[in-house]
Amino acid sequence: GQQLNQSPQSMFIQEGEDVSMNCTSSSIFNTWLWYKQDPGEGPVLLIALYKAGELTSNGRLTAQFGITRKDSFLNISASIPSDVGIYFCAGQGTSGSRLTFGEGTQLTVNP
């Protein structure tokens, strides 16, 4: 079945630093999504990408849909303490179909 490799597994950074994480797949996805999950909560959608090569920003977040449709990255600029949490990438084949999730990146931001 489809698998997503997400890296790094964890990151420990200082407040104000930039962060980058990425996902790669063994197969093609038509949609890439990035979610953030806080402890005890469900994942919250951060950014959705629909076209190969697309670069999308949401505040301090920037994500790109790889040109091969097999990868995506998420950047967070000028990190703040509330950025702490687990970030998941997810790929979707067609609208309305299942999401395949990466293993997550645990982000810790030291003030």
Partner 1 sequence: SAVISQKPSRDICQRGTSLTIQCQVDSQVTMMFWYRQQPGQSLTLIATANQGSEATYESGFVIDKFPISRPNLTFSTLTVSNMSPEDSSIYLCSVEDLGSLLYNEQFFGPGTRLTVL
Stretch that binds partner 1, among 11-19, 33-41, 54-62, 71-79 (CB under 8 A): 33-41
Query: Please, what is the minimum distance in Å from the beta carbon of residue 33 to partner 1?
Result: 7
Which CB atom, from 16 or from 57, has the smaller least distance to partner 1? 57
Tell whether residue 43 is a contact of partner 1 (CB under 8 A): yes
Tell whether residue 96 is a contact of partner 1 (CB under 8 A): yes
Task: Tell me the residue type at 76.
Answer: I
Which residues make Cβ contacts (< 8 Å) with residue 56, sequence separation at least 6? 47, 48, 49, 62, 63, 64
Q: Which long-range contacts (CB under 8 A, 24 or more apart) does 43-50 make?
A: 43/88, 46/74, 46/87, 47/74
Query: Please, what is the minimum distance in Å from the beta carbon of residue 44 to partner 1?
Result: 7
